Structure 1
């Protein structure tokens, strides 16, 4: 046997088929794979298949259950962070295995995927983002498997993929935000994290990873080059390549950072060699990386104490964007400041904060027309 062309198939008509030499239930075992563009490609894949059968490395999807299959995929997944891998593993253990882990890979179909989505929504009562992430794990695994020709088709393509409703995040007005920042100043060692978020729009992990060496006081800039994870691991780099960036900072933030640095230096002198030399701006009293949980506790206490409208700490990033829009900062500059991958993403995320852009444009045209006519006369 060898490579053949299916005349009824227009796209990628070539396939291979051969007998393995073994017999199961009185029948000769045969291996077959479709979907090749050329005869040469089919023959090469057949040769590779035979080699893997000979050395025992060939994977037979018919005999593998999806739970073990996706676990092996996760284990071999490279170029992802430890946090992402841990998220994959949790999704497999908590949601994927109980719902579809027992199904053979070769039998997995679109109905199984639909049932999996329903299971997460109705039985596990997961939120939209959790459902989307777990589904994406399954979808990515199966897409990778199609590329490797382990399976012919990804059943996720046959279902309506979970979507996330974009929610409008609450923000504070400038007069309230700055008054709150002034009232809470120096009320907690972690207050500086609040002020950095308000004045830069940095992500929480970026704030926790900020070092004194990343700040140029004279130039009034800071550079984001590392983050702190939820497990207090200091990690080089940032969320994406575009997230590694420099941010111009205001004079008021420079003054607040200098004031905070005095306190940090006093703690270092007091503890001596017991102080952890991580160079972190936001840190514990021993110099260690602070946790987001500590920041959140401080934040929740202050919201209650000063009877502030409840917003999440992360919403200070959205509040910062509202400030920039209010003072007419160009969208491209806002996108770069936030570390977004594109202006389109910034517009999609914060477009609801721009309700007056159309009317401003129309008013601007009226002004331009009036000025132009005056000059012409």
Structure 2
């Protein structure tokens, strides 16, 4: 068997194999060589597997492409990702993945390399949830390479997936606190309407900043999400996912609040005349332009400080919206549709712990439907 051991090179006792494929190209007999096996048995096993793959027509010539070069090609192909998700992926590639393992040839990347990479992320002090997301990016990239027959197998599948010990506890406000908070903060900022819409509709921040007056049907009391505004103040058609392109029913009070806010926008548009940037946005600057996420954050921080409210993120208002619906007994599918989740299971995973009494209520509800008499003997 053509299996060899490196005996001449100092400190290198690895085994390798080489065999001819039977093909001739440019007058030269083609051969396959693979190195770096710890034992003779490993080299022999790998050679037999390679020969079998060659006979079945399943052999893939190892690519010489570096992992970082492949990653750049892969990320450009992810056209189905939302802008924020794509930006997050690119950040992971630039900040963590490429600097650590990008220099390794894609064909030579091993499970051990990825395990060492995950260890380095822990040493950096990154949160467990962040490490898990970074690993997911690496896994997805390698999975695509395997599917396209660029590599024979996704080595990340041999690595134990990072675990998040416990999900961050959701902080939500009760109805009375929400009412008091909104009442006390209303006169403070033109961007108050953004927080109000987050509570009353469950929309994401980018969806709120992209909402246009044309997207609101005041008679039918419904709005349709058609576009978003990203962190660069760019107006983007569409939404985060296909399910995010949705309609959301509005309460009568929400309609009245929107009408009141529209009067402010009309006054500013008339005052500025041709200098007004008419993007038809509900939440906008004095000049009609898209609002920055920084401006919303500044408003939000100021409101929390003024009211002494528990410190939560603006995004947590979306969770508060979900919790308010749950308290009303709204069906989980309706909640999922309002939030624009891709599946009901995501809604259940996120908010299931807020429904501890559903089983009990369901059992009691049976008594109301099925009337029976206790027969006494």
Query: Is this a same-fold pair by TM over 0.5?
Result: yes
Take 1:330 and 1:277, find their aligned partners in 2: how far apart are those partners? Answer: 39
Compute the displacement of 1:60 (Å): 4.9
Take 1:81 and 1:334, find their aligned partners in 2: how far apart are those partners? Answer: 22
Take 1:187 and 1:133, find their aligned partners in 2: how far apart are those partners? Answer: 38
Compute the displacement of 1:351 (Å): 0.3
Match of 2:147 in 1: 147
Match of 1:215 in 2: 216
Is residue 18 of structure 2 the alignment partner of residue 18 of structure 1? no
On the 8 A contact 1:22/1:28 being kept in 2, the answer is no
On the 8 A contact 1:21/1:28 being kept in 2, the answer is no
Take 2:27 and 2:75, find their aligned partners in 1: how far apart are those partners? Answer: 32
On the 8 A contact 1:168/1:352 being kept in 2, the answer is no
Take 2:78 and 2:26, find their aligned partners in 1: how far apart are those partners? Answer: 34
Q: Please report the TM-score for the alignment, with normalisation by the length of structure 1.
A: 0.83
Match of 1:137 in 2: 137
Take 1:362 and 1:254, find their aligned partners in 2: how far apart are those partners? Answer: 37
Take 1:364 and 1:81, find their aligned partners in 2: how far apart are those partners? Answer: 42
Compute the displacement of 1:69 (Å): 2.6
On the 8 A contact 1:322/1:353 being kept in 2, the answer is yes
Take 1:341 and 1:205, find their aligned partners in 2: how far apart are those partners? Answer: 17
CA gap 1:91/1:101 in 2 versus in 1, 3 angstroms: same
Compute the displacement of 1:81 (Å): 4.3
Match of 1:197 in 2: 198
Take 2:193 and 2:237, find their aligned partners in 1: how far apart are those partners? Answer: 22
Take 2:336 and 2:51, find their aligned partners in 1: how far apart are those partners? Answer: 46
SS of equivalent to 2:373 = helix
Match of 2:74 in 1: 73
SS of equivalent to 1:349 = helix
Take 1:202 and 1:22, find their aligned partners in 2: how far apart are those partners? Answer: 66
On the 8 A contact 2:82/2:239 being kept in 1, the answer is no
Compute the displacement of 1:257 (Å): 0.4
CA-atom RMSD in angstroms: 2.5
Aligned residues: 338
Take 2:160 and 2:23, find their aligned partners in 1: how far apart are those partners? Answer: 37
On the 8 A contact 1:170/1:311 being kept in 2, the answer is yes
Compute the displacement of 1:331 (Å): 1.2
SS of equivalent to 1:103 = coil
Match of 1:254 in 2: 255
- Unaligned 5+ residue runs, structure 2? 1-20, 34-46
Could you report, residue by residue, the CA deviation over 1:288-320 in whole angstroms, capped at 9, with x for unpaired residues?
A: 111221111101111111111111111111111
Match of 1:105 in 2: 106
On the 8 A contact 1:65/1:105 being kept in 2, the answer is yes
Match of 1:3 in 2: none
On the 8 A contact 1:210/1:224 being kept in 2, the answer is yes
Which shifted more, 139-148 or 175-184? 139-148
Match of 1:122 in 2: 123
Take 1:78 and 1:36, find their aligned partners in 2: how far apart are those partners? Answer: 33
Q: Please report the TM-score for the alignment, with normalisation by the length of structure 2.
A: 0.83
CA gap 1:131/1:36 in 2 versus in 1, 3 angstroms: same
On the 8 A contact 1:237/1:244 being kept in 2, the answer is yes
Take 1:17 and 1:152, find their aligned partners in 2: how far apart are those partners? Answer: 21
Is residue 92 of structure 2 the alignment partner of residue 91 of structure 1? yes
Could you report, residue by residue, the CA deviation over 1:99-125 in whole angstroms, capped at 9, with x for unpaired residues?
A: 2122222221111111111111212x2
